[in-house]
Structure 1
Amino acid sequence: MTTNQILILSLISILLVILPAFGLSKMFQKVSVPAWKAYIPFYNTWVMLDVAKRPKHWFFWQFIPVAGWFVTMGIFIEWIKCFGKFSFWEHALTCLLPFIYFPYVGMDKNTRFIGPEGVRHYQKSTIREWVDAGIFAVVAATLIRTFIFEAYTIPTGSMEKTLLINDFLFVSKISYGPRIPNTPLAIPFMHHTIPGTSSRSYSEIIKLPYSRWFESPVKRNDVVVFNFPTGDTVINRPEFQSADPYYDVARRLGNGNLDAGRQMILGDPDTYPLVIRPVDKRENYIKRCVAIAGDTLEIRDGRVYINGEAGYVPPFSQISYEVETSGQPLNADVMKEDYHIDIENPEEIAVLSGNKYIMLLTADAAEKMKTSGLAKSITPQLIKPEQVDPRLWGQVCYPYDTMHKWTIDEFGPIWIPAKGATLTLTPQNYTLYERAIRVYEGNTLEQQNGQFIINGQPSSQYTFKMNYYWMMGDNRHGSQDSRFWGFVPEDHIVGEAWIIWMSVNNGIRWNRLFRSIK
């Protein structure tokens, strides 16, 4: 855990015990305790335990990260009982809104202190005990999931070999600051759909604007979980969703013309039922942040360059190579141990002819294959612009126009928008930034007679409201990433991939347990 994360956790713990201080001071006066004691963080909880005659060791449990918050809530509940407050809603207010509820109790002339002796005369029913325990568990888990960390499973091989399919991760929400949900009314522990149905698991009756507590920017080369930027519109059938995104389907149906494809989809709602999702309910993706706000990114010969300098190469990143071996049969154990290749996995190795193969290799494995003599020749399988059928320009990769003849291995240069930076729009960069300005930042934008019209006014200048990031998978030839859908806005950032707590593949991968993610 970083120093920044420790500081954030500590600050939240202090806020929990200092925000209700005013109400506590009024309640302390009712039991003849000096009011000033309510304003000293944690000492106030010691006083509460002392007055309520509850175990003093509870005081020390408060200092356990995260779990201590719920110990503090427990102390609050034991304290409020001493004022005759036993109902569920009173305990809910005590946990969730003590800075409002405690002043009410403290200043209510009809509320008196009954003391620990009075509390002993009150007995909860068995049903009430179970209900309280269940609700507390759900609330606690939801708060942890929203503000601290969340479990996440790797569903695809886009980050191999850094992360493997069926790696189970903890994603830190405090690394970049907890994001307040846009749609707070939702069924707990469900992302966007009720399992077994096509129905939403959330309501948009209440919609909150983007905000983030204790905000900290994403750092270059972090492994990040984020909401899929072009997942705002989804074809709501299992074979589509994020596996075959709406915008890809529309371009495909329209032979590169997005608007034509969109009209075909809208004209056939039975085949293409659409659903619009808010930011926090879009699919979760995990990639590596290769460029941050203000960077200029370029990919040449499959290698990433940031601001003109060669970028970081993750040690387990891999690309496709054409390999001609010296002729001997491939040994499964040697290929697995020395080159991290599973010869039974068609996604990692495919036979071209005889002793020629396409292999998915890390840079170290490729070099080792050369020096060991296994490979007579080994050549990266890069996609060059001159290899692309001219009829496919506008369908290859972002920004999907015929002006930028880019491929996943020959891309850019492209500038990543930064908050507060002003861009001069030109016909050459319009398609690069149009979605960020119009969709992510909520403006109207169009071209008319050689002019740009922003929010109804002619202007070629735009100042960005958010930071943006460029995300790429470590499996560079097997990843749906920013090369296909562009920038990731800061309001889509979920958290930082922190640790692998479990990994399964026909049994537990013991060597991956509790491995930090780099």
Structure 2
Amino acid sequence: MHQYFVFSGVFLFFEYLIHILGTWRFYQKSGINSWKIFIPIYNIFILLKTYNRSRWYLFLLLTPLTSIILLFILWMDLIRFFGRGRKKDILLLFFSAGLYIFYINFFEKIQKIEKIKKKEDHTGILLAIIFSFITHTYIIQPFVIPTSSMERTLLVGDFILVSKIHYGLRMPMSPISIPFTHNNIIGNVKSYISILQWPYFRFHSVQSIQRNDIVVFNFPKDSNHQVIDRKDHYIKRCIGLPGDLISIKKGVLFVNHRKENFFPEKQQAYLIKTENVPLNIEYLKNEMDIEDIELIEEKNDEYFYQIMLTKKKAIQIKNLFDNVVFIKKNIFPTYFQEDYIFHSGWNRDFFGPLHIPKKGELIKLNLKNLHIYNEIITYEKGKIINDPSEKYYKIKNNYYFMMGDNRHNSYDSRYWGFVPEDHVVGKPILIWMSIDWDRKNPFNFFSWKLRWNRIMKTIN
């Protein structure tokens, strides 16, 4: 906590120096006493008062990015009242990242204009943008569901609101960025400055993460972005809390040796065989709202499909279609070794047992578990242990195990491991809009359909 505010204080001090160096002649020409120029915050207050800006603007100094916005607002007022308020000057100020005001301050003859032509005031629009940015950064952030890993709980095309308060507000670690962007602008062009990196700090939570909560988090294995809060966003269900023991047997999840509670929205892969007549795909998609349908093989009037289904949908298909020979879950055998799985020898349907590390506990290291916990040790200590000469390691963070509800079509903790607590973003609370689009061509706007039954639906 102290480190975070020390970093912010140092940053604001440098901002203060930059502001003084770039504007001291403007202050003098405005008739402001020299000693007032050098008093932090008070010198900002003077400009707000001089140019009839609300004193509430001072609250923008509380965060690094909004403080930069405030300085640009004041600098625009200054150059405008000194005859440099043309569009050309404003553009030069922005595209030079503020350096234009230094040029005017040191190399140009400046004279205050007594009477300035009154222009339309856009303060309301500006404040609305700033308020929206603060809400987006510190309270609630909108997201859209791009993949089917959480179906049938969350569908592709669901627009959701995520609370950053429930699990404790995580303060930004990369404070300088383009507002309303996440990590990239176009392609690999980053939208933030990675050199300036603040330490991790989170306020106290309203509630702790509970087992089976849906959680938005930063993807731990995102190698394109080193700053934690700029890593790609993922959304999964937390099925394992710190200290839990996870295992999967024949596709059934066990937590602390207890079988998971049944929930109707969970999907798995089913193999279906029909004779003589193929499945009516249009009916499945339009009438039963089933999307992930794959024809595996067609041979001698026999048709083999793999479809992602809930248990209820599987029963419905069996009862509806007379040509169905069999319908069964597509469970990998225990000997099948799946590529990219978290632990060699396991697969999506036979996994574990795996202990989830808890903050403060001692993990006994040996050759069997070293490769499992080495990633955590590397993350926390910054080094890899090849030989477990240190018999015990004390865990510094809480970790979570995340899985998608679409169990056989989800890239989750079974493949890439644990989610550290500092990667947690927030809790989804509401679906405010839902659009059913063509998944192969999502930008075909003419095919979009509103899912009226999902709009303004809370997420439990």
Counterpart code for 1:514: M
- How far 1:330 moved relative to its partner? 3.5
* Cα pair distance change 1:141/1:421, threshold 3 Å: same
- 2:33 — aligned with what? none
CA distance in 2, matches of 1:213, 1:396: 35
CA distance in 2, matches of 1:351, 1:295: 38
Whether 1:473 and 2:404 are equivalent positions in the alignment is: yes
> Structure 1 residues 323, 462: closer, same or farther in 2, change over 3 A?
same
Aligned residue for 1:358?
306
Counterpart of 1:433 (choices 373, 388, 405) is 373
The one-letter amino acid paired with 1:398 is: F
Q: How many residues matched?
A: 351
User: Residue 337 and residue 305 in structure 1: after superposition, are their counterparts in 2 closer, same or farther (change >3 A)?
Assistant: farther
Aligned 8 A contact 2:173 2:229 in 1: yes
Matched, 1:382 2:313: no
Residue 282 of structure 1 deviates from its aligned partner by 0.4
Structure 1 residue corresponding to 2:250, chosen from 301, 314, 339: 301
Secondary structure in structure 1 of the residue aligned to 2:381? coil
**Which of 383, 401, 407 is the aligned partner of 1:444?**
383
CA contact (8 A) 1:289 1:469 kept: yes
Counterpart position of 1:249: none
Partner SS, residue 284 of structure 2: helix
- Is the CA contact (8 Å cut-off) linking 1:466 and 1:490 kept in structure 2? yes
* Compared CA separation, residues 125 and 147, structure 1 to 2 (3 A): farther
Aligned residue in 2 for 1:292: 241
Q: 1:508 offset after TM fit, Å?
A: 1.2
- Amino acid paired to 1:316: E
Within 5 Å, give how 1:10-49 maps onto structure 2: none
- Cα separation, partners in 2 of 1:387 and 1:205, compared to 1, 3 Å: closer
Residue 317 of structure 1 is matched in structure 2 by 266
Q: Tell me, which stretches of 5 or more residues in structure 2 are unaligned? A: 1-44, 64-114, 438-447
* Deviation at residue 90 of structure 1 after TM alignment: 5.3
| Alpha-carbon spacing, 1:94–1:299, altered in 2? closer, same or farther (3 Å) | closer
* Residues 124 and 136 of structure 1: CA distance in aligned 2, closer, same or farther (over 3 Å): farther
Q: TM-score by structure 1 length?
A: 0.62
CA–CA separation in structure 1 for the residues paired with 2:386 and 2:150: 38
The C-alpha deviation readout for 1:380-399, integer Å capped at 9, x for no partner, is 111223234xxx7xx44013
Distance 1:91 1:338, change over 3 A: closer
**Equivalent residue number for residue 203 of structure 1:** 193
1:96-130 CA distances to partner (integer Å, 9 max, x unpaired)?
Answer: 459xxxxxxxxxxxxxxxxxxxxxxxx99765831
Specify the alignment match of 1:21 in structure 2. Answer: none
- Residue matched to 1:512: 454
Shift of the 95–210 alpha-carbon distance from structure 1 to 2, 3 Å rule, reads: closer
Distance 1:376 1:217 in 2: 47
- 1:358-412 C-alpha deviation (Å, 9 max, x unpaired): 2211111123334556443222111223234xxx7xx44013xxxx410011100
In structure 2, the residue corresponding to 1:203 is in which secondary structure? Answer: coil
Q: 2:149 aligns with which of 140, 143, 158?
A: 158
- Verify the 8 A CA contact 1:85 1:91 in the aligned structure 2: no
What is the CA deviation profile of residues 415-454 of structure 1, one whole-angstrom value per residue up to 9, with x for unaligned ones?
1111111111111111111111212x23423124xx43xx
What residue is the counterpart of 1:497 in the other structure? 428
- Alignment of structure 1 residues 132-281 onto 2, 5 Å: 132-194=123-185, 196-215=186-205, 216-231=207-222, 233-234=223-224, 276-281=225-230
Q: Aligned runs of 1:343-354 on 2, under 5 Å?
A: 347-353=292-298, 354=302
Distance 2:336 2:120 in 1: 70
Q: Distance in 1 between matches of 2:120 and 2:243?
A: 55
In structure 2, the residue matched to 1:39 is: none
1:129 aligns with one of 103, 116, 121: 121
Instruction: Report how far residue 177 of structure 1 moved.
Output: 1.2
3-state DSSP class of the match of 1:491? Answer: helix
Which amino acid is the alignment partner of residue 349 of structure 2? D
Contact 1:138 1:188 (8 Å CA) reproduced: no
Shift of 1:351: 4.6
Residue number in structure 2 paired with 1:413: 353
Question: Per the alignment, in what secondary structure is the counterpart of residue 423 of structure 1?
Answer: strand
Alignment partners' CA distance in 1, 2:278 and 2:313: 18
Most deviating of 485-494 and 137-146: 137-146
Please give the alpha-carbon distance, in whole angstroms, between the structure 2 residues aligned to 1:333 and 1:193.
38
Once residues 333 and 318 of structure 1 are traced to their aligned partners in structure 2, the CA distance between those partners, rounded to angstroms, is: 20
Deviation sequence 1:162-183 (CA, Å, 0-9, x none): 1111111111111101110111
The SS at the match of 1:129 is coil
Matched, 1:397 2:345: no
Aligned amino acid, residue 191 of structure 2? S
Q: Secondary structure at the match of 2:407?
A: coil
Distance in structure 2 (CA, Å) of the matches to 1:514 and 1:474: 21
SS in 2 for 1:498: strand
1:445 is paired with a residue whose SS is coil
> Taking structure 1 as reference, are residues 125 and 324 closer, same or farther at Cα in structure 2, changes over 3 Å only?
farther
Tell me the SS of whatever aligns to 1:290. strand
The change in CA–CA distance for 1:126 and 1:206 in structure 2 (over 3 A counts) is: farther
